[in-house]
């Protein structure tokens, strides 16, 4: 084996041009000259760090091994003697100063009493780009808003006098114990919003018996997440299928070896939705806008963080691929992103172990219906064919869940569990691991109260008769305005920042 070369800062600085471009990432030096035009995010952003340490910019938006797997080994030049690298004194912008001051003035965690509070804090304290990426949804953002509204079109039919002194909301998901009928759904690029990224989720989930779904595009590496697990902690894996199936095969089999208990294949993203809040950010930063205006069509630059790194996803994925997935893993396979009864039937008949009725948090096809609404037709269609209920085929719903009462509605209508993404993401961006623990505690408190008030002592006692979902499929519901009441009603307020 050849000795690893140690390079110095001044040596790397010599290679700061398009003709010879070296960068430092995680203490190693790479020659990326030939890769510049292949970089999914464009060459300009790499050239900004030519001859320098690019780790800080690289880290939040790349899996740690992206560079090592994409660059041939002869381009791995050696390690850097970090003491010789000139320190970049970064000017803190006025905006950044304001943001840091707001971070200091966050409401104390004790004052956070619901999931909306986390979102309010995250919106204020997150760097603009992170907020734009996380919060954005596709096109007119109609579906993301509908995800919330759908829950409000379902009303409870509570039962009384059932001795609810003791209530239990624990569950199993794919046969795995879960302290809540909720799993942490996959969200990508966690380090855009918190330096510890998805590890905040892992640690809180491990402590409280909640299942975490690891995202293919997490900022933390898969192994770092698994290594941080508590004994016996359960994980699922969200999978974006690579055009290179060998990469996917290795990834899936590695996950299985490391104990992951369910493979959730994303099936609603053959192309990434246009998330305009995210796209607009690109025009503001990295002066990519100027280039577009010059008429140079480099699509990748004006497409936001997500689209820039999505080119590896295989749009040719089809039902024909399911047997191949079955052949490479024994993990239960779940299709994430089913949006009609027709596809739910195909999924069942393809032999997978479950489906997630999801519109990808409103980030893919705008005006796709909410998962909750889809659940109604899916349960009817599967039941008609004798496919439901079946303990070996579970149905999950995600999108728009902010309250335990939302979860109870979905379970009453036939879901086994519910995925929650953004609320946990916002919890850790605002307060780290502790925020996630608080979010779990809020869910617990809400489950306890709502199950008592609904007259359900266990999740098995939730039944369709406990909800009135007749308005769920009506997308416009007229409600007469009660102006006198409206004018005297005092709106609730969100958690207040300390005076700075």
> Is 192 an interacting residue with respect to ligand PPY (CB under 6 A)?
no
> Are 18 and 39 in contact, with CB atoms under 8 Å apart?
no
Interacting residue with ligand PPY among 217, 237, 355, 459 (CB under 6 A)? 217
Closest distance to ligand PPY from the beta carbon of 300 (Å):
12
Q: Find all residues with CB under 8 Å of 391, minimum gap 6, and list them.
A: none
Q: Which among 151, 240, 396, 426 is annotated as catalytic?
A: 240
* Positions in 346-365 near ligand PPY (CB under 6 A): 360, 363
Tell me, yes or no, if 475 is annotated catalytic: no
> Are 62 and 54 in contact, with CB atoms under 8 Å apart?
no
> Is 368 an interacting residue with respect to ligand PPY (CB under 6 A)?
no
Tell me, yes or no, if 268 is annotated catalytic: yes
CA distances to 59, 305, 488 from 140, in Å: 31, 19, 32
Closest distance to ligand PPY from the beta carbon of 330 (Å):
26
> Are 21 and 46 in contact, with CB atoms under 8 Å apart?
yes
> Are 329 and 263 in contact, with CB atoms under 8 Å apart?
yes
- CA-nearest of 466, 178, 397, 136 to 275 is 136
Q: Which among 49, 134, 360, 366 is annotated as catalytic?
A: 360
Interacting residue with ligand PPY among 54, 85, 288, 306 (CB under 6 A)? 306
> Is 310 an interacting residue with respect to ligand PPY (CB under 6 A)?
yes
Closest distance to ligand PPY from the beta carbon of 285 (Å):
17
CA distances to 173, 268, 338, 341 from 386, in Å: 21, 26, 19, 14
* Residue with smaller CB distance to ligand PPY, 199 or 217: 217
Interacting residue with ligand PPY among 46, 188, 237, 379 (CB under 6 A)? 188
Interacting residue with ligand PPY among 125, 182, 201, 309 (CB under 6 A)? 309
* Positions in 247-286 near ligand PPY (CB under 6 A): 272
Closest distance to ligand PPY from the beta carbon of 43 (Å):
19
> Are 148 and 423 in contact, with CB atoms under 8 Å apart?
no
Tell me, yes or no, if 240 is annotated catalytic: yes
* CB neighbour class for 163 (10 Å; exposed up to 12, middle 13-18, buried from 19): exposed
Interface stretch with ligand PPY, choices 43-51, 201-209, 252-260, 306-314 (CB under 6 A): 306-314
Distance from the first to the final alpha carbon of the chain: 58
Interface stretch with ligand PPY, choices 16-24, 241-249, 250-258, 305-313 (CB under 6 A): 305-313
Closest distance to ligand PPY from the beta carbon of 161 (Å):
46
Instruction: Give the C-alpha separation, 74 to 455, whole Å.
Output: 66
Question: What 3-state class would DSSP assign to 313?
Answer: strand
* Residue with smaller CB distance to ligand PPY, 63 or 414: 63
Closest distance to ligand PPY from the beta carbon of 345 (Å):
25
Q: Find all residues with CB under 8 Å of 484, minimum gap 6, and list them.
A: none
Q: How many residues does the chain have?
A: 500
* Residue with smaller CB distance to ligand PPY, 188 or 347: 188
Q: Where do contacts with ligand PPY occur on this chain (CB under 6 A)? A: 188, 217, 272, 306, 309-310, 360, 363
Please list the active-site residues.
240, 268, 360
């Amino acid at each position: 084996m050849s000795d690893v070369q140690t390079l110095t800062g001044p040596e790397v600085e010599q290679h700061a041009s398009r003709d010879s471009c070296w960068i430092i990432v995680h203490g190693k030096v790479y020659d990326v000259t030939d890769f510049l035009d292949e970089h999914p995010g464009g060459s300009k952003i790499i050239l900004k760090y030519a001859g320098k340490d690019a780790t800080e910019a690289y880290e939040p938006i790349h899996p740690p091994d992206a560079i090592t797997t994409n660059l041939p080994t002869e381009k791995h030049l050696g390690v850097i003697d970090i003491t010789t690298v000139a320190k970049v004194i970064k000017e803190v912008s006025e905006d950044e100063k304001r943001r840091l001051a707001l971070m200091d003035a966050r409401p104390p965690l004790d004052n956070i009493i619901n999931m909306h509070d986390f979102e309010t804090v995250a919106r204020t304290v997150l760097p603009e780009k992170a907020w734009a990426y996380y919060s954005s949804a596709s096109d007119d953002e109609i579906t993301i808003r509908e995800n919330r509204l759908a829950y409000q079109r379902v009303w409870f039919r509570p039962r009384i006098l059932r001795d609810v002194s003791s209530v239990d909301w624990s569950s199993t998901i794919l046969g795995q114990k879960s302290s809540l009928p909720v799993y942490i759904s996959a969200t990508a690029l966690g380090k855009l919003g918190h330096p510890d990224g998805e590890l905040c989720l892992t640690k809180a989930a491990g402590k409280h018996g909640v299942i975490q779904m690891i995202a293919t595009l997490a900022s933390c590496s898969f192994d770092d997440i698994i290594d941080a697990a508590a004994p016996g902690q359960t994980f699922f894996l969200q999978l974006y299928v690579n055009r290179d199936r060998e990469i996917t095969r290795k990834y899936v089999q590695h996950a299985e070896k490391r104990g992951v208990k369910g493979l959730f294949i994303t099936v609603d993203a053959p192309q990434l939705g246009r998330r305009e809040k995210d796209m607009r950010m690109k025009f503001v930063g990295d002066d990519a806008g100027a280039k577009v205006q010059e008429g140079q069509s480099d699509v990748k630059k004006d497409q936001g963080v997500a689209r820039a790194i999505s080119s590896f996803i295989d749009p040719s994925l089809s039902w024909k691929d399911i047997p191949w997935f079955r052949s490479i893993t024994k993990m239960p396979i779940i299709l994430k992103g089913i949006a009609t009864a027709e596809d739910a039937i195909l999924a069942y008949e393809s032999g997978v172990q479950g489906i997630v009725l999801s519109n990808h948090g409103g980030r893919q096809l705008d005006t796709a219906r909410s998962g909750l609404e889809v659940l109604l037709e899916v349960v009817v269609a599967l039941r008609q064919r004798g496919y439901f209920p079946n303990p070996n085929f579970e149905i999950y719903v995600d999108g728009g869940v902010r309250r335990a009462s939302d979860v109870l509605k979905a379970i009453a209508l036939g879901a086994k569990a519910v995925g929650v993404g953004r609320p946990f993401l916002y919890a850790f961006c605002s307060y780290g691991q502790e925020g996630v623990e608080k979010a779990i505690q809020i869910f617990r408190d809400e489950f306890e109260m709502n199950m008592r008030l609904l007259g359900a002592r266990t999740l098995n006692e939730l039944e369709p008769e406990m909800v009135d979902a007749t308005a769920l499929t009506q997308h416009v519901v007229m409600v007469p305005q009660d102006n006198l009441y409206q004018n005297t009603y005092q709106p609730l307020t969100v958690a207040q920042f300390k005076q700075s």
